[in-house]
Structure 1
Amino acid sequence: ATLLIEQMLMNYLTGDPKFGSLEDDKNTANNGLLNLRNNEQPNFYMRGMYENKIFPEIWDSLRQEGIVSSMSDVEGSALFANSPFKQLSSEQLDAKQSIEEAVIKVLEQKSTSAKIIKVEGMAGTGKTVLMSALFKDLYDYLHDSNDFNHNNPSIALLTRQEQQLKTYSDLTKKLNMNNTVFNVSSFI
């Protein structure tokens, strides 16, 4: 239950307009959101009470203290909708695991050949949330792994849609993953 509350706090803080990016406060060395573990929680006894009663009470207490924005303001933001801390469906988790395994395999082989992985689906099926979670996990893996640190790994997310570019750029700034999201044509 505690990990679920932590995950929900990270998700809501990501979407809260009160918490800007590094660009917003150049005097702060590190005001991004860092979560160094995966908090995906299975269903457990009384989970709904923690999600629908206890967490909103905690958030409202923080709002009354002037620390955070209202839940409705946060829930209306694109950053909240696409947070990498969202609970993924079982299909999204399976896809994320398969893609991560494929990418890590290529990295471990130190292959110089390109590998393309296509994620497709109808609008609203969760591709953007999947991509956010996948990108954050791979970024963390590359920056935390001793095997790859001395090889200067780099990771970039390329998009051709202007709204996705803005959303992903805002997310990566909040998560201290600066200079990792690019428009395809400007990257080329």
Structure 2
Amino acid sequence: MLAAKIFLSGLFLKAESSPAISLALAEDAGKPRVSQGEGVTPERPSLQSLKERELALHTREQEIRKKEEELVPLKKDIEEKLGELNELQMRLTSYAKALAEREEAMKDTKMAHLVELYTAMEPGKAAAIMEKLKMETVVLILRHMKGKSAGAIISLMKPEMGAQVVEKLSQMK
């Protein structure tokens, strides 16, 4: 019988040395062994940890609600300020428009005064003075004059200047 045990042990040792069996034994070595009577249970959170998590979530929810309540008056203030800013912007736009109209009226008044001034002058003196002014100013003044007065002044200007003035007047709309 001893011979039989030795023989079987040799076979067993021989079997463990084969590559397939060695690989299978190595894989089993890494797995935990379960003894009879022990059940394998997947890891589940305990009731205590679930209650703690629920409490933390509830606390967080209360904090968020509190912050939302704090934001309501701030939002109202911002909306009021925006309303005030919009109103101020509308008033400023209105003032700017009124100022531009007033400026234009003053410009027209000044131009009307210049037109009267140059119309009242002798055409020769008006032509001599206009020859020393900027071309844009001369054209604006003559444009607002009656044709007869403007023609008399242009006729007494130097021919080159008169030609430039007539050309500029013809290009104006």
Give the TM-score, by structure 1 length: 0.22
Higher Cα Rg, which structure: 2
Which has more helix, going by share of residues? Answer: 2
Q: Which has the higher contact order (CA 8 A, sep 6+)?
A: 1
Give the TM-score, by structure 2 length: 0.23
